[in-house]
């Protein structure tokens, strides 16, 4: 009888999980459907088709190249963080994992698809060092978010005439400026504090929350990076460069469809769109990206006659996202991480 109750409890738990996944999927499909309906009411389908047919192919090719470079940079960034912890994995393998993450990021919206993929593969590539290796995934994600806020805090003041025109974009900009200022302050504090002061702070945290194994490993990881702040500075600069490249990709697609905005203007609001794309409420940013593009470009820039261009811009950005995901799918089919025994032998040879 007890075994039957346990089976029933397990079955009920599986049903609840399945129902939750189905509910989230339905919500995302509802967001996509609402976005398509909203776009169909705002734009002329024939006009959007004309804009797409007349798109500049060279600018689209440049945008595609710019969209692929950040994946390679991501592998180099990850490699540098792992080396601080004395975990040696080839950049090629890490770049493959990062590209596969683009594929699963479309299937599982938000950071779960990308970071979940990295967690899975790094556990195969660094057996025995899984927690430390996974901490680099979280650190790289944090540096990416920090670079977004830092870029907006630099570029929003340069575009205040555009972003401050309407109340919605004005308050969004003020919010990002505030967070960006806090991030800049935290980064400055981290780099200004001495090694001894940081070690004392980590020890205080460990003493306050107990000496668990997990916390001890996290403190060791934090101490390792505190002693290699030059590496963190380089990875942070690479993350900032990645965000600039993404802005350049938006700018190139904008040029392809005839949206006359300078690069510095794109850098003022593209990070907001990228950050909003992290929200797991839709597939491939559909709906969220469209709304924000119309919000920032259509109303803010005064391009009231450019609705067709903005819709074409959004569709082309979606196409580039799907191309990156398709490439990630091909890498996923071709790349096979080493088995546990093979990885342990390769790590032993390195050591």
Token pair belonging to 223 = 């101490």
Beta carbons of 66 and 288 less than 8 angstroms apart: no
Whether residue 102 is contained in a domain is answered as yes
Distance between CA atoms of residues 290 and 276, nearest Å:
11
Examine residue 25 and state whether it is found in any structural domain, yes or no.
no
In a domain, 185, yes or no: yes
> From first to last of its 351 residues, what are the pLDDT tens digits of the chain?
444 544 444 444 554 455 555 655 666 666 666 666 666 666 778 888 888 889 899 999 999 999 889 988 999 999 999 998 889 899 999 999 999 988 888 777 656 678 888 888 988 888 888 888 888 988 898 888 888 888 888 888 888 877 777 777 788 788 888 888 888 888 888 888 877 777 777 777 666 666 666 666 667 777 888 888 888 899 999 999 999 999 999 999 999 998 888 898 898 888 888 887 776 656 666 777 878 888 888 755 444 447 888 888 988 998 998 898 899 989 998 887 765 544 444 434 433
Extract long-range pairs of 24-31: CB within 8 Å, 24+ residues apart.
Answer: 24/280, 27/281, 28/109, 28/280, 28/281, 28/282, 28/283, 29/283, 31/281, 31/282, 31/286, 31/287, 31/288
User: Per the domain annotation, does 59 fall within a domain?
Assistant: yes
Contact (CB, 8 A) for 85 and 129: yes
- Cβ-based burial of 187 (10 A; exposed 0-12, middle 13-18, buried ≥19): middle
The verdict on residue 121 lying in a domain is yes
In a domain, 20, yes or no: no
Please check whether residue 30 lies inside any domain of the structure.
Answer: no
CA 155, distance to chain mean position in Å, is 19
Tell whether 224 is covered by a domain.
Answer: yes
What does the chain come to in residues? 351
Q: Tokens for 265?
A: 């203007």
Unique residue bearing structure tokens 């398509």: 36
DSSP 298: I
Domain count of the fold of the chain? 1
For residue 267, the enclosing domain spans 47-345
- What pTM was computed for the model? 0.80
Measured CA to CA, the distance from residue 160 to residue 306 in angstroms comes to: 21
């Amino acid at each position: 009888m007890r075994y039957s109750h346990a089976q029933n409890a397990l079955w009920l738990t599986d049903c609840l999980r399945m129902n939750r996944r189905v509910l989230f999927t339905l919500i995302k499909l509802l967001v996509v459907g609402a976005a398509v309906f909203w776009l169909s009411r705002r734009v002329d389908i024939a006009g959007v088709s004309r804009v797409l047919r007349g798109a500049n192919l060279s600018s689209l090719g440049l945008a595609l190249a710019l969209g692929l470079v950040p994946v390679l940079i991501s592998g180099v960034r990850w490699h540098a963080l792992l080396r601080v912890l004395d975990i040696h994995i080839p950049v090629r393998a890490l770049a493959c994992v990062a590209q596969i993450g683009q594929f699963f990021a479309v299937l599982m919206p938000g950071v779960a698809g990308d970071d979940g993929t990295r967690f899975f593969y790094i556990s195969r590539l660094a057996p025995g060092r899984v927690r430390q290796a996974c901490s680099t995934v979280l650190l790289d994600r944090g540096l990416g978010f920090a670079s977004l806020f830092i870029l907006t805090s630099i570029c929003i003041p340069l575009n205040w005439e555009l972003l401050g025109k309407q109340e919605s974009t004005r308050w969004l900009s003020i919010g990002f400026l505030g967070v960006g200022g806090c991030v800049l302050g935290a980064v400055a504090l981290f780099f200004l504090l001495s090694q001894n002061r940081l070690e004392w702070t980590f020890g205080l945290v460990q003493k306050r929350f107990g000496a668990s194994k997990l916390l001890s490993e996290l403190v060791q990881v934090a101490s390792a990076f505190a002693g290699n702040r030059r590496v963190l500075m380089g990875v942070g600069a690479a993350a900032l460069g990645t965000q600039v490249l993404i802005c350049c990709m938006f700018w190139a697609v904008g040029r392809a469809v005839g949206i006359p905005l300078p690069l510095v203007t794109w850098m003022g609001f593209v990070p907001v769109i990228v950050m909003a794309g992290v929200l797991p409420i839709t597939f491939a940013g559909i709906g969220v990206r469209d709304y924000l593009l119309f919000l920032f470009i259509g109303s803010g820039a005064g391009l009231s006659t450019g609705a067709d261009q903005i819709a074409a811009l959004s569709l082309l950005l979606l196409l580039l996202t799907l191309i990156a995901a398709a490439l990630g799918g091909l890498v996923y089919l071709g790349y096979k991480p080493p088995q546990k025994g093979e990885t342990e032998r390769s790590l032993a040879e390195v050591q």
